[in-house]
Amino acid sequence: MTTLTTPATTTAHRSSGLMWAILALVLLADALDVIDGTVTNIAAPTIARELNGGVGLIKWLGPAYMLSMGVLLLVGGRLGDKFGQRKLFLIGISGFTLASALAGLSPDPALLIAARVAQGAFGALLIPQGMAIMTKAFSRDMLAKAFGLFGPVLGLASVGGPVLAGFIISADLFGLSWRPIFLANVVLGIIGLVAAVKILPRDDDGDRSTVVDGRGSGLLAAAMFGLLYGVIEGSTNGWNAVPVASIIAGILFFAAFAYRQRTAVDPLIKPSLLHNRGFTSGMVVGLVVFAAGTGLIFVLSLFLQEGLHAGARGASLGLVPLTAGIIVAAFAAMAGLVTRLGRKLVFIGLAVNLAGCAWVLALVNHSGTNLSLWTLAPAFFVIGVGTGLCFATIPTVALGDAKPDEAGSASGSLSSIQQLSSAIGSAAVTSIFFQGTSSGLGHAMTVTLIVVLAVTALSLPVVTLMPRKAAE
C-alpha cells in the first residue's frame, strides 16, 4: 500500500478512480454524522412515547449526541495525528456502527441515551480523519473538486435525514416504528468499514510525539455534562438541590478547564486565539446563534407534531422550507458573498433570522395552533435563510484575523463550539418550550420565540467586534 506523504508523490501512484472512491467514503461518513444529528428532531416524540421516556428523553436525544461529539472533536483530530488517520477512521466507523445498532435495539431510555453518547464519541474520532486523509492524499485539483461536493452532499443529508425519518416512522417498516432510522446506519457503516479497509492508504507515519490533552477534555466533558444535566433535570423535575448543584459543578469544572487552557503545555485551544478579539467575539456570537438556532428548529418540529398534530411525516415535510432556506443561503454565502461582505453578512443573516422568527410569532399569536403547514412555509423559509447565512458565515468571519499557524486550531475549536452550543441550546430552548405547555402549546411556542428573538438580538452588538473580512 502507498504511504501517505505529499499530494504530488501520492497521486502519482494512485488512480483517479481510487481517489474518487476515497472521497465517496469520506462523504458517507460525514453524511452519517449530519443525518444522525438531525433525525431525532423528527423522531423524538415517537421514541419518547414508545419507550415511556417522557419529556426528559425528548430533551436528551439530541444533546447527548452533540455533547460527546463536541467534547471529543479536537481530541479526535489529535489522536489521528498521533496514531494515524486510517487507524482512527476504522475505529471511528466501527464504533459508530455498533453504537447505532445499540440505539436501534435499545429497550429503554437509559440505554438509548448511552448509545447516542457513544455515537457522538465515535463520530468525533471518525469525522476529523477524512479531511486529513484527503489533504495528504489528493492533488490540489482533486481537493478543489472534493470540497465542491461537500456542500451539496451534506445539504442533501440535512434535508434527507429528517424527511427520511418521518417517512420511516410513518411506514412502520416490519413493525419496528422508529428503530430503522438507527439500524440503517448499521448497513451503511458495514459497507463503509469494508470499503475503508480496502481503499484507505496506510499511514504508519503518525507522530507519536503529538500531545493529547486528556485532562482538558475530561474537564470540558464534566463542565458540559453538569450544565446539561442541571438544565434538563431542573426544568423536568423541579429546581431542587440536585440540578442547582449540577449547574454549579458545571461552572466550576468550566473554570478549571479555562485554567487548564492557560497552563497546559499543549492545550486544546491555542492561548493566542483567546487573546484575539475577532476570534473570541466570533466564538461568543457563534455560541448564541448556534444554540438558539438549533434549539428553535427542534422546538418547531415539536410544535408541528404536538401542537398542529402533523405527525412525523407531516412535520418532516413541514420543515423542508426551513432546511431549503438554510441550504440556499449557505451556498450563496460560500459562493462569494462572505468574501465580499464579511461581517456585514452576519448582520444580514441575524436580521433575516429575526424577521422570520417575528413572522412566525405573529402567526402563532393570531391563530394559535389553528395553523396549516402551508401558512408557516414562507416564514420557515425566511428563518432558514437567516440561519443558513449565520451558520455558514460566522465561522469563516471569526477566522478572519487568525494567523496561518492558528487556523487549524481555530477551525477545530469553532467546530467543537458549534456542537457544544447546539447541545446546550437544544436542551435549554426545549426546556423553555415544555415549561410553557401548561398554558397551551400556542403559548409555549410564543414564549420560546420571544426568548429566541431576545437572545439573538443581544448578539448583534458583539458582531461589531468580529473581523471585518472573512478568512481567505
Domain 1-206 and domain 270-472 have a common topology? yes
The 3-state secondary structure of 83-126, one letter per residue = HCHHHHHHHHHHHHHHHHHHHHHCCCHHHHHHHHHHHHHHHHHH
pLDDT of residue 399: 83
The structure's pTM equals 0.87
All structural domains of the chain with their residue ranges:
1-206, 214-265, 270-472
Interval 425-435: pLDDT, tens: 888 999 999 98
Please check whether the domain covering 270-472 is classified as CATH 1.20.1250.20: yes
pLDDT of residue 217: 86
- Would the CA dihedral through 59, 64, 66, 71 be positive or negative? positive
Interval 141-189: pLDDT, tens: 777 777 767 766 777 777 777 888 888 998 888 889 999 999 999 999 9
4 or 397: which carries more pLDDT confidence? 397
**1-206 CATH pick, 3.40.50.970, 1.10.287.130, 1.20.1250.20, 3.40.1130.10:** 1.20.1250.20
Is a pLDDT exceeding 60 seen at residue 413?
A: yes
Amino acid letter for position 355: A
| DSSP code, position 437 | G
Interval 241-274: pLDDT, tens: 999 999 999 999 999 988 888 887 777 777 777 7
Q: Which distant-in-sequence residues (6+ apart) come within 8 Å of 62 by Cβ? A: 37, 40, 41, 44, 294, 298, 422, 423, 426
CA atoms within 13 A on the CB side of 246: 17
Cα 128 to Cα 326: distance, rounded to the nearest angstrom: 23
Cα 250 to Cα 356: distance, rounded to the nearest angstrom: 34
The mean pLDDT of the chain is 86
415 band by pLDDT with thresholds 50, 70 and 90? confident
215 band by pLDDT with thresholds 50, 70 and 90? confident
Is a pLDDT exceeding 90 seen at residue 191?
A: yes
Q: Which distant-in-sequence residues (6+ apart) come within 8 Å of 414 by Cβ? A: 282, 283, 286, 395, 398, 399
Rg (CA), the chain: 22
Which DSSP string corresponds to 191-259?
A: HHHHHHHHHSPP-----TT----HHHHHHHHHHHHHHHHHHHHHHHH-S-HHHHHHHHHHHHHHHHHHH
Which run of H or E residues covers position 284? helix 277-302
pLDDT of residue 461: 94
Cα 298 to Cα 90: distance, rounded to the nearest angstrom: 32
Give me the percent of the chain exceeding a pLDDT of 90. 43
Cell of 273: 486565539
Q: Within 10 Å of residue 241's Cβ, how many Cβ atoms?
A: 7
